[in-house]
């Protein structure tokens, strides 16, 4: 689908913003800290709906140092990561493969996720895992999370977002933190203790929940790097289907 002019202008603005933040981090801190680069987007859509999907951050996936800081959307019309990937990508990357397994079992959800949903990250800089991500932000005196929070807020503004979908319990915690770190002495939309309140689902990685703030619905879903069992995801699929009906899901 071709981007309209408004969406293209928004894309250019967020790309330039991310490039500037990356340059500022490399200039102020040791550039070697950011040698693994980053990835602003997965998928081929930006600014064309009121829906955004956030992964935690791009992993390294065995990439060599010196990988670029990529801010482009996909231009391959046959792919829309992580919701629609090549057979090889599904085989090589567990995150993609598990999304493929889940959406292949639920055609209506597959259509919905591939319909103009922006796929991005809470933090676009690459780290091997969440612990390293927290360490990297601490090493930058919190600027990594501050810049990431500004990107998240700009994205929600560009989309006039009504729905944010966040992968994993840690993703919900991080979204709460990022929405707070951009303002002095301001917390996130939820009390951190509220983020720990009961989830739906059978526990462990198979957990989901709904939270709202400022007219925005937030759905925290299982992290598909780990959630593989279709049987354990049946209850989640039924819950997700009901939650997405107000946002255009057709059975």
| Mean pLDDT of the region 4-13 | 91
What was the pLDDT predicted at 41? 97
Q: What is the pLDDT of residues 192-225, one digit of tens each?
A: 888 888 788 887 889 999 999 999 999 999 999 9
| Residue 162 vs residue 251, higher pLDDT | 162
147 close to 21: Cβ distance less than 8 angstroms: yes
User: What pLDDT does residue 14 have?
Assistant: 98
**Spatial separation of the C-alpha atoms in residues 159 and 51, rounded to whole Å:** 7
Mean pLDDT of 1-6: 70
Is pLDDT at 16 greater than 70 in this prediction?
Answer: yes
Q: Would you state the pLDDT for residue 31? A: 87
CA-to-CA distance for 7 and 210, rounded, in angstroms? 28
Q: Which domains does the chain have, with CATH numbers?
A: 5-247 (3.40.470.10)
Cis peptide before 82 (omega within 30 of 0): yes
Q: State residue 201's pLDDT score.
A: 86
The full length of the chain comes to 251
What is the structure's pLDDT at 187? 84
Give tens-digit pLDDT for 98-138.
999 999 999 999 999 999 999 999 999 999 888 999 999 99
Contacts 24+ apart (CB under 8 A), 141-145: 142/181, 143/24, 143/25, 143/28, 144/25, 145/177, 145/178, 145/181
Query: What is the spatial distance between Cα 99 and Cα 225, in angstroms, rounded to a whole number?
Result: 8
The reported pLDDT for the residue numbered 4 is 76
Q: What is the pLDDT of residue 73?
A: 97
**DSSP for the chain, written as a single string:** -PPPHHHHHHHHHHHHHHHHHHHHHHHHS-GGGGTT-EESEESS--SSSSEEEEES----TTPPTT--EE-PPP--TT-BTTTB--HHHHHH-HHHHHHHHHHHT-HHHHHHHTSS-EEEESS-B--SSHHHHHHHHHHTTTHHHHHHHHHHHHHHHHHT-SEEEEESHHHHHHHHHHHHHTSTT---SS-HHHHTSPPEEEETTEEEEEEEETTEEEEEE--TTT---TTTTHHHHHHHHHHHGGGT---
User: Is residue 53 a contact partner of residue 81, using CB atoms and an 8 Å limit?
Assistant: no
Confidence of residue 22 (pLDDT cuts 50, 70, 90): very high
pLDDT for the residue numbered 204: 83
What does pLDDT average to over the chain?
92
């Amino acid at each position: 689908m071709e981007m309209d002019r408004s969406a293209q202008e928004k894309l250019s603005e967020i790309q330039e913003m991310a490039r500037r933040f990356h340059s500022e981090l490399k200039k102020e801190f040791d550039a070697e800290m950011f040698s693994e680069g980053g990835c602003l987007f997965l998928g081929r859509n930006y600014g064309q709906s009121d829906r955004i999907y956030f992964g935690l951050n791009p992993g390294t996936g065995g990439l060599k140092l010196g990988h670029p800081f990529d801010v482009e959307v996909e231009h391959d019309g046959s792919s829309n990561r992580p919701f629609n990937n090549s057979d090889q990508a599904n085989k090589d990357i567990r995150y993609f493969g598990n999304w493929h397994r889940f959406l292949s079992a639920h055609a209506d959800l597959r259509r919905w996720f591939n319909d103009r949903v922006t796929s991005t990250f809470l933090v676009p800089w690459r780290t091997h895992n969440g612990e390293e991500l927290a360490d990297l932000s601490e090493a930058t005196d919190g600027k990594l999370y501050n810049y990431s929070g500004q990107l998240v807020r700009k994205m929600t503004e560009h989309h006039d977002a009504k729905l944010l979908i966040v992968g994993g319990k840690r993703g919900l915690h991080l979204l709460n933190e990022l929405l707070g770190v951009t303002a002095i002495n301001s917390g996130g939309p939820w009390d951190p203790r509220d983020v720990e309140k009961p989830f739906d689902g059978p526990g462990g990685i198979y957990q989901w929940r709904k939270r709202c703030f400022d007219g925005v619905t937030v759905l925290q879903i299982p992290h598909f790097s780990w959630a593989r069992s279709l049987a354990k995801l049946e209850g989640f699929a039924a819950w997700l289907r009901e939650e997405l009906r107000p946002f255009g899901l057709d059975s």
